[in-house]
Amino acid sequence: NNILKKKYFMKTLVTIFLTVLLFVSNLCHSQSGWFFANPLPQSNSLNCVNFLNSNTGYAVGNYGMILKSTNAGLNWKYQSNVNIVGILRSVVNFDENNSVAVGYGGTVAKTTNGEDWLFHSVGSGIFLFGVAMPSIDIVYAVGEVGKIYKSTNGGVNWTEQQSGINSALFNVFFSDVNTGTAIGANGVIRRTTNGGR
């Protein structure tokens, strides 16, 4: 009688286990139309993607992660990094060779050949959230407590500009070297028509 009870218990346990396994496997199927892209694997969080044209784009993220695609996002390639270990929050492309990424701790990453990235800094440990590059030389970066920085040599050296606010600025866009808009916390919008002067 005990042997029959044990066999029945084991059959029931196996049936429950297989039912749960079948249920979980059905939940794990990906959505229709979505698929995992290269590189395999890439587990760092990515924070921003920006495409220069229909084929070439960059994605940036945690631990200095910079990826490049040259086939419209189908495949991604690791970029060569030099001493970039922080969190990158935003990336902008000027042309096929010149791009700038910014992030936490005042981190600035710059490429002039579309492959190799060098570390620069705005000169303070401020968190940077957004970047704009209206020319090959002029670059703007925005960040916490209303900080706005401007570079006139493509992102190598930076000077702070006065925003007149203390709210974090999350993104910035320039239509030309003088005309730009920065947006941020609490609905703040800051605009310049004279290059930030």
CA-to-CA separations, 1 to 5, 13, 14, 194, in angstroms, rounded: 6, 18, 20, 92
Torsion sign over Cα 52, 168, 193, 157 = negative
List, for residues 93-140, the tens digit of each pLDDT value: 999 999 999 999 999 999 999 999 999 999 889 999 999 999 999 999
> Which tokens in the block code for residue 172?
């910035």
Q: What pTM did the predictor assign?
A: 0.78
Contact assessment for residue 138 and residue 151, using Cβ atoms and an 8 Å cutoff: yes
